[in-house]
Structure 1
Amino acid sequence: MGQMIQPDWDMFQSDHVCAEYHAASRAISGGPVYLSDHLGEGSHNFELIKKLAFFDGTVPRCIHYALPTRDSLFKNPLFDKESILKIFNFNKFGGVIGAFNCQGAGWSPKEHRFKGYKECYMSVSGTIHVSDIEWDQNPEAEGSEVIYSGDYLVYKNQSEEILFMNSKSDGMEITLKPSSFDLFSFVPVTELGSSGVRFAPLGLINMFNCVGTVQEMEVTGGNSILIDVKGEGSFMAYSSSVPEKCYVGDKEAEFKWEEETGKLSFYVPWVEESGGISRLSFAF
């Protein structure tokens, strides 16, 4: 229905036992996010809400509407005791796949209500691959300087691991426990001209849709890159070499770079004057 309407994934309660599960699906839905929390102390999980929304109430929304991956079609992820529900969406500088174990939760036509079916509560396994994302449907791809081929950086939300994948890679094996999920963010790896540095920004990893926090990216010359990111928190990128300097605005940032993994990270503050957007610069 996304071709005709703006999809709405309905509301949820942030203090619910499955709130994180529901929040993750809405974070990559491409639609608005609603909460139906009760009023009163203890009725809101603010730490969870901060993973969904910025301080100004906006959200790092995907630029498309979420769709099931091809291998999720014609499956029954509620009751077949074997299928993972996988959905994908796009950000301006990458894509995201959400994997959800929905087994055992569904509508009862006899009782006319949603209920749990304990006989279906079990771990299920599957694979994640960069080709699960229909990259040719990305509305930002046409005319973009980002090349959606070659190597992709993959970020696993639950474990905070990074790895690389391309179209010829084997699928990533995953297993999800009942009522659990994981998010996989994909970012094309950019190579800086003369320096040969390989770089891929993940954005603020304290947000469910971390790559959605990246607003703009520009390679300047052969040894520097500029990124606009919205929000506050832990910025992470992959960099094949340690930068000479990193800046947040006009202030030099104290960064951490792991030689073994290439993880580059530092703290980004909320800048009220610019609507929460910070200009990050990297010199190699």
Structure 2
Amino acid sequence: MRNYLKLGVSFLLVMLVVACSYSPSEKEVKDYENIPETINLNQLNTTKGILRLNKQEVTPNAEGIIAEIKLELPKFKKGIYYRPFSEKLAAGNRVEPLWFDDISELNNYKHQKPRMDSHVNLGAFMMLQQENGEYLALLPLTSNRIGNTFSVHNNNMYITMATYGTATENVSVPFVSYAQSKNPYEAARQVWELAMQMDEIKENINWREQKEYPEAYNYLGWCSWEHYKHKINEEIILKAAKDIKTSSIPFRWMLIDDGYLDHKQNALLSFGVDKKKFPNGWEPIMAQKDEKIKWFGIWRHFNGYFGGVSLNHHMPQLQDYLIERNPRGKRKFYMPKISEEAANAFYHEMTEHTKKSGFDIIKVDFQSDNFRNNTGASNAILGVHYNNTALEENTKSKGLMFLNCIAQQSFNVFNHRYSALIRGSVDYKTTKDRLDVTLVQNFANAFWLGHTHWLDQDMFFANFKETAQLMAVARAMSGGPIYLSDEPENIDDTVLKPLTYKDGRIVGTLAPAVPLPESLMQDPYADDKAFKVIAPLQNKTAAIMAVNLNQNDKEVTTQVSLKDYAFAGGMIQPYKGLWQTPKEGVLLYDYYNKTAQVLKDDYSFTLASRKERLLLLNPIKEGWAVIGRPDKYLSGATYELLNVDEQYVNIKMIEDGSLLLWTNGKIPTSENFEFTDLGNGLWQGNLINPVDSKEYIISKK
């Protein structure tokens, strides 16, 4: 394969050489003096490590590519490869997996529904299940000035090293981290851990649990986009706010999406409003804040607007920081110059206008377009770094609650040091194809992005009965934001009540839900298997959702096993390993069937097309298993287990309500609950004597 560095001599690496003192569990930073043409991964002598090019001058070709390095992969049984399924259009919301048995399948991939096109390059992550059953994770790395991604051609996998610019850079380049483990979640976590140890990267990214989760997103919200699209104005938003205030549904925030901006022919004039639509600016809208609608949010475009910043913009204070671009050769527009100063000026203007207008939440969209808008300039990757970093710093300093959107591309992801939220998929739609794609994207992307972000599954319609419950349960499992886009006046809250408490707080998870190992390595569209995801809850309860997304629309039979319980620990931070099976076992509670049983053999069930099942795995301790509030999807998160012994159990409810528990032959009694025997050891307690502390003792009669 061509090497675009004029080094004069090609370099072929046959094996990764490591010092003999390394043991298989140690890590290695393998440094290259020159860019190799080929790297053979068959002979890795460490289970984890970094591949890095030593500091030197690197010059991109006319396409902005420095080199393409062929990767010789080890033998494997199955692979999962993440790439944007759109080459240009909103690629940052379109990263999703392809499953393969051989690289030739990726090389020859043609568009198959429900996906949208055949693009396979700009790959962001890959995992191989090797013949010995272990998992090898591979993460291309992005530093301040150099972006690395996977590409596929000539029936081979390559690392594409690029700036997408013209300037020669004198830098060291960490370009891949790798990790091998029997546990797929640990392998994925370790490649991020290795990246965070590199000087060239560590200041730009952070663990999910080290970031501040925005307060508003702990509550139910509403967004204008799916219902109103661009057809919003002052009257429509004020009516929506009025309807939300009078609704019994506990919405706590509103997000005003695209359709308000001051622009001309899709090029930004200012960060203000279209005066024809919002003649009084934001003041009448912000006046609607109260105890019901506590926060307002606004949509922004990372590049100003779809056509960048207009050459006739109304922001003279920014003029010295803007530069003319025309990467597609069609229409000229302004972008921030590729400098730290220019990026700070531009995103200060965006966020300062947002804050002074009274907004609390900012959603910044179309981040993945930024490198394309600077393609052919000095260094497009450096431009992304400056711009994302400036946006991160400005939202943080102004106390804005920040949601990244169209930002899954690794060039952006590797510059999200503070922001905790990222959209996990393309926009929600009610069509079958879009339902399938968004579900798989959101949960499969959590497997690699969930180490640094919580994932946003987008708004949905509670009034679209065909899929409303599936959408609600999926969002509960995600641990991320939950918000609607129905016309606020008449929303059916049937599927919403199990999501939240009375004040709108979401009953959530301890970590993002991710596919179980068997679902991680199978194609949910074609393999005639259920797609199953798992999330950890409080009190060592595991939640599993199974859904049938097969394109043949046939029923599938699937099962949940005791061994699945351990994987609930896979995404918890700080990571403490997989969960141990409790000594007394695990109680399975089927939320839809309202039945419980001790999980010993597989629990099998059948799923019709596009139907789901929600199962809670509760630890048994001293002959008790507390399931929690039966009226909430994630019942195990509705209480805190304070103490338990053979005679009694002591809990604290997050919010008062009825209680479901199981006993091994005990008859429960309490001065606070009246218990009804539901059979098979299952008891429901109706609260008859609440106390302010919400602490209750249930004893053995």
Q: Distance in 1 between matches of 2:480 and 2:640?
A: 18
Compared CA separation, residues 38 and 209, structure 1 to 2 (3 A): same
Instruction: Indicate yes or no: 2:617 matched with 1:186.
Output: yes
The equivalent residue for 1:113 is none
User: What is the aligned counterpart of 1:86 among 532, 538, 542?
Assistant: 532
Overall identity of the aligned pairs, in %: 20
Does the aligned pair in 1 maintain the 2:661–2:684 contact within 8 Å?
A: yes
In structure 2, do the counterparts of structure 1 residues 141 and 158 end up closer, same or farther at CA, with 3 Å as the change threshold?
farther
Q: Which has the larger radius of gyration?
A: 2
Say whether 1:3 aligns with 2:423.
no
Partner of 2:676: 256
SS of 1:255's equivalent in the other structure is strand
SS in 2 for 1:163: strand
Seen in structure 2, the aligned counterparts of structure 1 residues 243 and 102 have a Cα distance that, compared at 3 Å, is: same
- State whether residues 476 and 634 of structure 2, in contact with CA within 8 Å, keep that contact through their aligned partners in structure 1: yes
Amino acid at match of 1:19: A
* Equivalent position amino acid for 1:188 in 2: P
Equivalent in the alignment of 2:592: 158
Amino acid at match of 1:4: T
Corresponding residue for residue 279 of structure 1: 695
CA contact (8 A) 2:674 2:687 kept: no
| TM-fit CA distance, 1:243 | 3.8
Shift in Å, 1:140:
8.9
Q: Normalising by structure 1, what TM-score?
A: 0.78
* Structure 1 SS opposite 2:670: strand
Match of 2:633 in 1: 208
Distance, in Å, in 1 between the alignment partners of 2:651 and 2:470 is: 30
State whether residues 244 and 283 of structure 1, in contact with CA within 8 Å, keep that contact through their aligned partners in structure 2. yes
- Taking a change above 3 Å as real, the CA distance of residues 216 and 66 of structure 1, as seen in their structure-2 partners, is same
Change over 3 Å in CA distance of 1:74–1:136 after alignment to 2: closer
Q: Distance in 2 between matches of 1:15 and 1:68?
A: 28
SS in 1 for 2:473: helix
**C-alpha separation between the residues in 1 aligned to 2:665 and 2:518?**
37
Mapping of residues 104-183 of structure 1, within 5 Å: 104=551, 120-133=552-565, 134-137=567-570, 138=572, 148-165=582-599, 169-183=600-614
Change (3 A) 1:256 1:11: same
- Whether the 8 Å CA contact 1:242–1:257 is kept in 2: the answer is no
Q: Quick one: which of 203, 221, 228 aligns to 2:652? A: 228
In structure 1, the partner of 2:199 is none
Runs (5+) with no aligned partner, structure 2:
1-448
Shift of 1:255: 1.2
Tell me how far apart the structure 2 counterparts of residues 236 and 223 of structure 1 sit (CA, whole Å). 18
Q: Partner residue of 1:109?
A: none
The answer to whether the 8 A contact 2:591-2:615 is kept is yes
Equivalent of 1:246 in 657, 664, 670: 670
Q: Answer whether contact 1:243 1:282 (CA < 8 A) is retained.
A: no
Deviation at 1:62, TM superposition (A): 0.6
User: Does residue 497 of structure 2 align to residue 54 of structure 1?
Assistant: no
Equivalent of residue 520 in structure 2, options 45, 59, 73: 73
CA distance 1:75–1:81, change in 2 (3 Å): closer
For 1:123 and 1:77, the matched residues in 2 are separated by: 13
CA contact (8 A) 2:674 2:688 kept: no
Cα distance change on mapping 1:74 and 1:200 into 2, 3 Å: same
On the 8 A contact 1:124/1:175 being kept in 2, the answer is yes
Matched to 2:489, the amino acid is G
1:184 partner letter: L
Q: 1:55 to 1:269 in 2, by over 3 A?
A: farther
What is the rounded CA distance, in whole Å, between the counterparts of 2:575 and 2:647 in structure 1? 24
Contact 1:103 1:121 in 2 (8 A): yes
More displaced 10-residue stretch of structure 1: 156-165 or 229-238? 229-238
CA distance in 2, matches of 1:14, 1:218: 38
Q: Say whether the 8 Å CA contact 1:20–1:48 is kept in structure 2.
A: yes
User: Structure 1 or 2: larger helix share?
Assistant: 2
Q: Within 1, Cα distance between the matches of 2:574 and 2:591?
A: 24
1: CA distance between counterparts of 2:584 and 2:674? Answer: 31
Structure 2 Cα separation of the partners of residues 180 and 247 of structure 1: 40
| Aligned twin of 2:62 | none
Give the structure with the larger strand fraction.
Answer: 1
The number of residue pairs the alignment matches comes to 245
1:202 shift after superposition:
0.4
In the TM superposition, residue 47 of structure 1 has moved relative to its aligned partner by 2.2
Where structure 1 has 5 or more consecutive residues not aligned to the other structure, the ranges are 105-119, 192-197
Native 8 Å contact 2:542 2:616 kept in 1: yes
Per the alignment, in what secondary structure is the counterpart of residue 254 of structure 1? strand
- Quick one: which of 21, 28, 45 aligns to 2:470? 21
State the one-letter code of the partner of 2:496: I
**What SS does the aligned partner of 1:22 have?**
helix
CA distance in structure 2 between the partners assigned to 1:3 and 1:66 by the alignment: 11
TM-score for the superposition, normalised by structure 2:
0.33
Q: Match for residue 115 of structure 1? A: none
- Relative distance call for 1:241 and 1:125 in structure 2 (3 A) is closer
1:79-124 residue CA offsets vs partner (Å, 9 max, x unmatched): x1612110001011111110011223xxxxxxxxxxxxxxx21211
Judge conservation of contact 1:224–1:281 (CA < 8 Å) in 2. Answer: yes
Checking the alignment, whether the CA contact within 8 Å between 1:215 and 1:229 is kept in structure 2 is yes
